[in-house]
Amino acid sequence: MSGEFLDWSTLSAWDVTFALLSVVAGWIASRLVRRGILALMARLEGISAETGRRVASISGIIVLLLGVGVALSFLGAPLQPVLAIVIIVAIVALLVLRGIADNFSSGIVLQTRKPVQPGDQVATPDYDGTVEELTSRSVVVRSFDGRAVHIPNSAFLNNPFVNGSAFGANRTELEVRTPLGGLGVEAVLAELERVAASVDGVRTEPADQAPWARAITIGADRMTARVQVWHEPGRSQATGGAVVVALAAALADRGPDVLVTSELPSTMARTEER
């Protein structure tokens, strides 16, 4: 009949049979596709189980919908209304799921390219901490004050972040103000390097990561120096504090004018490499 989506009067038993077989075949195919994609995702390095399940589920739904579309064609459904419905559903899904899709695709990038991994020390514009988990929705970071921070994958990738664990070591810089005590500048710098190297956690190898002291200002009987030390990622405060204590103890006989600090302005802390 005119105006109806399906003209039931023209349908035969074979049409209905083929339509039902199409739906059943689509359902079976969707199950097989889902299992196949799950197996494939399990073999791919860097893809989490949750991400694999989501990709498999979406693929299975698409195959099932194709089976339903074939069934409708057997039943004589007009093409234009079907296309209109598909387009409307696609637009609504795009608007509703846009954020989810962004996070999902960003999660795949994070888990395959691996700019960060669980255990890495990271810093974002808003949070610092240790990466605990990478999911299809977010990067879970344990902040240094013990909070769990869930950063959406798309927000994590679309903003600058620092991976302090990428190269296996971090550098901390200290400032030392001390009287020369009758010694030459080079002798004082060598003493600062020796004391810093004796602190547990300070790296002495390779050579370019050994403690390095350099003069910043030199007066008639005093000087200001910067001391750089390398250590394990995430140990900046602990190792830096231990070096401050060691340097202050070594320079205690120089009088009350000695000052050792790790609190440097950010523009001063980001100095050149050795």
Give the model's pLDDT for residue 90: 64
- Sign of dihedral through CA atoms 143, 149, 152, 153? positive
- Count of other CB atoms within 10 angstroms of residue 111: 21
Give the model's pLDDT for residue 268: 38
E strands in 208-252: 212-218, 222-231
Q: How far is CA 143 from CA 75, 148, 169, 170, in A?
A: 59, 6, 19, 18
Give the model's pLDDT for residue 182: 79
Give the model's pLDDT for residue 40: 78
Please indicate, yes or no, whether the overall pTM of this predicted structure exceeds 0.85.
no
Condensed to tens digits (0 to 9), the pLDDT of residues 191-212 reads 999 999 999 999 998 888 899 9
Regions of the chain with pLDDT less than 50? 1-2, 265-272
Give the model's pLDDT for residue 174: 92
Give the model's pLDDT for residue 271: 47
Give the model's pLDDT for residue 7: 61
Q: Which domains does the chain have, with CATH numbers?
A: 8-113 (1.10.287), 121-163 (2.30.30.60), 170-269 (3.30.70.100)
Q: How far apart are CA 141 and CA 132, in angstroms?
A: 5
CA gyration radius, the chain? 32
Give the model's pLDDT for residue 78: 67
